[in-house]
């Protein structure tokens, strides 16, 4: 006799990354407090909040670059201690030394340095892999160019190509859409979709509410603590955004005849350049 399908227990979805009561101090300053989240394979999670909210700190803890003051972080149930081969971290572009005298291809090849002895030159296969990653981001024709000669969007593409070369199960990106043109943003989104289809978890920090709405399965609103977490529909409400961004939120009322919800305009005066991001 066949069992009733309705009575068959459904296995709970197992998170790839988990944090529990994560707290980080910088000297006497609280950067993150009591952050507990689960991140699953095959999803895109955007982390939103004002400058100083702890977005970059959270990514660095997961990347193994920072040790939490309290709490835990795990990958597949095992404690995260230092850099992990299954986790790839892409920092903000402004944090790199673009004057370093190496080519675009050489910069991408550094993505496999952690599994390659430093004394051994890169072999032909590794160089071909780097060129293939550059081709994915539309940069193969600039492989021999010095990295300092690139535009901001091209530099961000180099970062992404390097991440593709070493990409494991989790891809962490800090402000990947900042300072890049629309074609580069669209290319990033296409690659994110492809990586998600392979089961990769993508977590990125951003100030751009509209971009987060369009590209994320879930959103995490952070201002040192978690304000809200869930789908964009559930999380990106006027109340949650005001609790996250405080006085940086301005609500503009549309004409009553307009069927769409009121937009929320986030004025982030702490960003590198004043910007207005409209979230609908």
For residue 277, tell me if it sits in a domain: no
For residue 51, tell me if it sits in a domain: yes
Q: What is the pLDDT along the chain (280 residues), one digit of tens a residue?
A: 444 544 444 446 789 999 999 999 988 889 999 999 999 999 999 999 998 899 999 999 999 999 999 999 999 989 988 888 889 998 887 667 778 888 999 889 887 755 555 667 888 888 999 999 999 899 999 999 998 888 888 888 888 888 888 777 999 999 988 888 888 888 888 988 989 998 999 999 998 888 898 889 999 999 999 999 999 889 989 899 999 988 655 444 343 343 334 444 444 434 333 333 333 3
Residues of the domain holding 132: 96-166
Of the residues 139, 166, 193, the one at which a domain ends: 166
Q: Is the same domain home to 173 and 236?
A: yes
Q: Is the same domain home to 226 and 182?
A: yes
pTM above 0.95, yes or no: no
Q: Which of 221, 273, 210, 280 is nearest to 245 (CA)?
A: 221
Number of domains in the chain: 2
Q: Is the same domain home to 173 and 240?
A: yes
For the segment 37-86, what is each residue's pLDDT rounded down to a tens digit?
999 999 999 999 998 899 999 999 999 999 999 999 999 989 988 888 88
Using the structure block, give the residue that is written with the tokens 């005298």.
101
- Do residues 213 and 236 lie in contact, with contact meaning Cβ atoms separated by under 8 Å? yes
List all residues 6 or more positions away from 253 whose beta carbon is below 8 Å from its beta carbon: 262
For the segment 91-120, what is each residue's pLDDT rounded down to a tens digit?
887 667 778 888 999 889 887 755 555 667
Q: Is the same domain home to 172 and 160?
A: no
For residue 197, tell me if it sits in a domain: yes
Q: Is the same domain home to 25 and 52?
A: yes
List the CATH number of the domain containing 192: 3.40.50.300
Q: Is the same domain home to 57 and 188?
A: yes
For residue 263, tell me if it sits in a domain: no
């Amino acid at each position: 006799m066949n069992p009733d399908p309705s009575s068959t227990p459904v296995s709970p979805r197992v998170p790839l990354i988990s944090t529990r009561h994560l707290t980080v101090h910088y000297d006497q300053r609280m950067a993150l407090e009591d952050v507990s989240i689960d991140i699953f394979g095959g999803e895109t999670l955007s982390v939103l909040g004002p400058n100083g909210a702890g977005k970059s700190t959270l990514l660095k803890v997961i990347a193994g670059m920072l040790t939490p003051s309290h709490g835990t972080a795990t990958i597949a149930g095992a404690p995260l201690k230092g850099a992990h081969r299954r986790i790839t971290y892409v920092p903000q572009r402004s944090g790199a030394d673009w004057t370093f005298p190496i080519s675009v291809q050489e910069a991408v090849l550094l993505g496999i340095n952690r599994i390659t002895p430093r004394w051994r030159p890169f072999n032909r296969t590794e160089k071909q892999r780097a060129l293939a990653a550059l081709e994915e981001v539309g940069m193969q024709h600039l492989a021999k160019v010095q990295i300092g000669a690139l535009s901001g969007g091209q530099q961000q593409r180099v970062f992404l190509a390097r991440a593709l070369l070493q990409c494991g199960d989790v891809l962490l990106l800090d402000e990947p859409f900042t300072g890049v043109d629309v074609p580069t943003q669209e290319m990033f989104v296409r690659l994110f979709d492809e990586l998600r289809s392979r089961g990769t978890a993508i977590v990125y920090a951003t100030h751009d509410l509209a971009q987060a709405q369009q590209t994320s399965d879930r959103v995490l609103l952070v201002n040192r603590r978690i304000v809200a977490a869930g789908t964009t529909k559930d999380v990106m409400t006027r109340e949650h955004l005001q609790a996250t961004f405080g006085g940086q939120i301005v609500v503009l009322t549309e004409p009553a005849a307009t069927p769409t919800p009121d937009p929320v305009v986030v004025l982030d005066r702490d960003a590198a350049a004043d910007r207005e991001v409209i979230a609908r």
